[in-house]
């Protein structure tokens, strides 16, 4: 039973910084009037038993492993903090290559080796029923999209808190961090392993950009040092994120206008070649278009040259994936067992992989049919703007989700697309979702396990070393 908050608790919560909204004053006041009381409820003080333990060493602690998953924290930021002297009890961070699109559900599905979610986000298109499903209400009360990796997590925010985090990232982040400390103390008496998930890191990245996220990560570092001091130096802590973040201010891509100008119709169901269904949920660096297969090339053509569009991908009936942009057109193909990939430049070089192919040929890693091993592509594309692109692109239009899109659009850094209402309420200072390396490189770091300089999300299980759950 949690004790009641007193006036001092509420004042402390109100004093935390709230990033201002880029909206009319009257609208801002209405939003705050609705959101602030709910946010303050997340600032509730610990349960009495947690308060009683807060100052003493946990002599009877059963805790041996703490796994901390953080949403939307890019590798380069963690690496810079580690080099500056933070997270000193940890091995050097590794690059963790996310999925494409670099979004939470798709990324964590790969890390936890779960079955695909229905769509790329909570709002998705169901081709069998020919309608849009999901959305905010389902996200708040019953999210099939989030029912996968969440079953592995003991300490995580409510869905309401997740939604409010993007309105009030500062207060919710500190409340989330405090709850993690309390729950760790409470569960340490009987749990040998605790898996926790911080979503407010993503909200801070989207809203506050690099500086606000860095400030919060320093607070996370201090809290983890406190937890290790209380539960013993033998406590193994593992941290990782799901994807990266461009951490630059963004603006909306005129996707709807481009489709309309080309004669397509924004729809909620597909009845003709003119109909295009675009689920809109968050504000991210990619979009997922559903249409009749015959319309795919025309949709891709209509989006070339649109401000903010980096590239467009779609699969054909032979299983090949077309990659188009203003720099050229190419085909990405895989062997039947997905052990090797081929990148064929049809016109120009949309991914800029000509130097990659030269290096692969120089190492005699390209066979007579033009395929190079999966591991070679990973190694050679790691320093490029499109890390691990052949494999990630093929997964995106294939096995990444239950209902893959007909056309996927990846945006340049500085651009986003998504829910129009959110665009009015939430100014964006960073986002993710694109094929770009900056959006796709998460991190992995451990106190006890050294890892390779770079690895894929699907390889993480061997380093987590968790007991059967």
| pLDDT higher than 70, residue 141 | no
Q: Tell me which CATH code domain 24-51+61-124+135-248+438-464 carries.
A: 3.40.720.10
| pLDDT higher than 80, residue 53 | no
Q: What is the dihedral of CA 148, 150, 153, 156, to 10 degrees?
A: 170
Q: H helices of 189-199, where?
A: none
What is the pTM for the complete model shown? 0.85
**408, β-bridge pairs:** 288, 313
Q: What is the mean pLDDT of the chain?
A: 85
Whole-number pLDDT of residue 8: 40
Whole-number pLDDT of residue 431: 94
| pLDDT higher than 70, residue 418 | yes
State the average pLDDT over residues 421-437. 88
Burial of 443 (0-12, 13-18, 19+ CB in 10 A): buried
Tens digit of each residue's pLDDT (9 = 90 or more) over 310-344: 999 999 999 999 999 999 999 999 999 999 999 99
Six-digit token string for 368: 């007579």
State the average pLDDT over residues 37-60. 38
What is the Cα–Cα distance from 141 to 208, expressed in whole angstroms?
27
Q: What percent of the chain has pLDDT over 90?
A: 67
Whole-number pLDDT of residue 140: 53
Whole-number pLDDT of residue 139: 52
Six-digit token string for 403: 């209902």
Question: Could you tell me where in the chain the CATH 3.40.720.10 domains are found?
Answer: 24-51+61-124+135-248+438-464
State the average pLDDT over residues 186-195. 89
Q: Strand, helix or coil at 423?
A: helix
CA distances from 411 to 146, 286, 312 (A): 25, 6, 9
What is the Cα–Cα distance from 373 to 379, expressed in whole angstroms?
10
| pLDDT higher than 80, residue 394 | yes
State the average pLDDT over residues 129-155. 71
DSSP state of 382: T
Six-digit token string for 79: 């690496």
Whole-number pLDDT of residue 189: 86
- Reported as a pLDDT band with limits 50, 70 and 90, residue 408 is very high
| pLDDT higher than 80, residue 195 | yes
State the average pLDDT over residues 406-413. 98
Whole-number pLDDT of residue 28: 43
- 432 versus 60: the higher-pLDDT residue is 432
**Residue 130 falls in which region: left (phi positive, over 0), alpha (psi -120 to 50) or beta:** left
State the average pLDDT over residues 358-367. 98
Six-digit token string for 468: 């059967």
CA distances from 133 to 76, 153, 388, 403 (A): 36, 25, 31, 12
Q: Which residues contact 63 (CB under 8 A, 6 or more apart)?
A: 184, 187, 188, 191, 192, 193, 194, 231, 235
Whole-number pLDDT of residue 423: 81
What is the Cα–Cα distance from 464 to 466, expressed in whole angstroms?
6
Residue identified by tokens 């709807």 is: 256
Pick the most confident of 32-41, 383-392, 455-464.
383-392
| pLDDT higher than 60, residue 287 | yes
- Reported as a pLDDT band with limits 50, 70 and 90, residue 133 is very high
Whole-number pLDDT of residue 337: 96
The maximal CA–CA distance of the chain, rounded, in angstroms, is 74
| pLDDT higher than 80, residue 7 | no
Short-list 464, 463, 423, CA closest to 206: 423
- Reported as a pLDDT band with limits 50, 70 and 90, residue 142 is low
| pLDDT higher than 60, residue 245 | yes
State the average pLDDT over residues 185-214. 92
| Least reliable range by pLDDT among 65-79, 138-152, 396-410, 418-432 | 138-152
- 262 versus 61: the higher-pLDDT residue is 262
Q: What is the dihedral of CA 105, 320, 367, 392, to 10 degrees?
A: -10
* CB count in 10 Å sphere of residue 304: 14
What is the Cα–Cα distance from 430 to 69, expressed in whole angstroms?
19
């Amino acid at each position: 039973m949690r004790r009641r908050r007193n006036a001092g608790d509420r004042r402390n919560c109100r004093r935390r910084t709230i990033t201002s909204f880029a909206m009319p004053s009257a609208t801002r006041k209405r939003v705050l009037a609705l959101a602030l009381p709910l946010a303050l409820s997340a600032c509730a003080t610990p349960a009495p038993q947690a308060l009683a333990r807060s100052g003493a060493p946990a002599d009877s602690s059963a805790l041996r492993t703490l796994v901390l998953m953080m949403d939307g924290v890019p590798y380069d930021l963690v690496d810079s903090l580690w080099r500056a002297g933070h997270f000193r009890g940890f091995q050097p961070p590794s690059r963790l290559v996310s999925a494409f699109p670099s979004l939470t559900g798709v990324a964590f599905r790969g890390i936890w080796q779960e079955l695909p979610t229905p769509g790329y986000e909570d709002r998705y298109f169901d081709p069998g029923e020919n309608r849009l499903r999901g959305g905010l209400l389902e996200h708040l009360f019953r999210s099939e999209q989030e029912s996968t990796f969440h079953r592995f997590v003991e300490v995580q925010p409510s869905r309401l808190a997740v939604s409010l985090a993007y309105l009030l990232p500062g207060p919710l982040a500190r409340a989330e961090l405090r709850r993690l400390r309390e729950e760790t103390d409470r569960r340490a008496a009987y749990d040998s392993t605790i898996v926790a998930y911080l979503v407010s890191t993503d909200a801070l990245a989207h809203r506050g950009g690099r500086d606000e996220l860095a400030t919060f990560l320093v607070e996370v570092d201090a809290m983890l040092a406190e937890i290790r001091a209380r539960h013993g130096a033998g406590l193994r802590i593992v941290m990782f994120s799901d994807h990266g973040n461009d951490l630059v201010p963004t603006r909306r891509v005129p996707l709807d206008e481009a489709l309309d100008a080309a004669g397509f119709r924004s729809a909620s169901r597909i009845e003709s070649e003119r109909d295009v269904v675009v689920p809109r949920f968050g504000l991210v660096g990619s979009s997922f278009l559903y249409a009749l297969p015959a319309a795919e090339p025309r949709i891709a053509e209509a989006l070339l040259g649109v401000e903010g569009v980096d590239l467009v991908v779609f699969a054909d009936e032979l299983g090949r994936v077309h990659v188009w942009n203003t720099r050229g057109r190419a085909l990405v193909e895989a062997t039947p067992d997905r052990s090797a990939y081929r990148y064929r430049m049809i016109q120009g070089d949309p991914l800029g992989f000509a130097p990659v192919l030269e290096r692969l040929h120089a190492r005699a890693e390209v066979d007579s049919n033009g395929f190079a091993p999966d591991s070679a592509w990973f190694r050679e594309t790691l320093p490029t703007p499109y890390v691990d692109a052949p494999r990630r692109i093929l997964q995106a239009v294939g096995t990444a989700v239950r209902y893959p899109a007909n056309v996927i659009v990846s945006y340049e850094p500085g651009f986003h697309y998504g829910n129009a209402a959110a665009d009015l309420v939430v100014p964006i200072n960073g986002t993710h979702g694109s094929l770009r390396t900056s959006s796709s490189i998460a991190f992995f770091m451990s106190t006890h396990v050294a890892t390779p300089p770079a690895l894929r999300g699907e390889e993480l299980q061997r380093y987590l070393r968790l007991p059967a759950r």
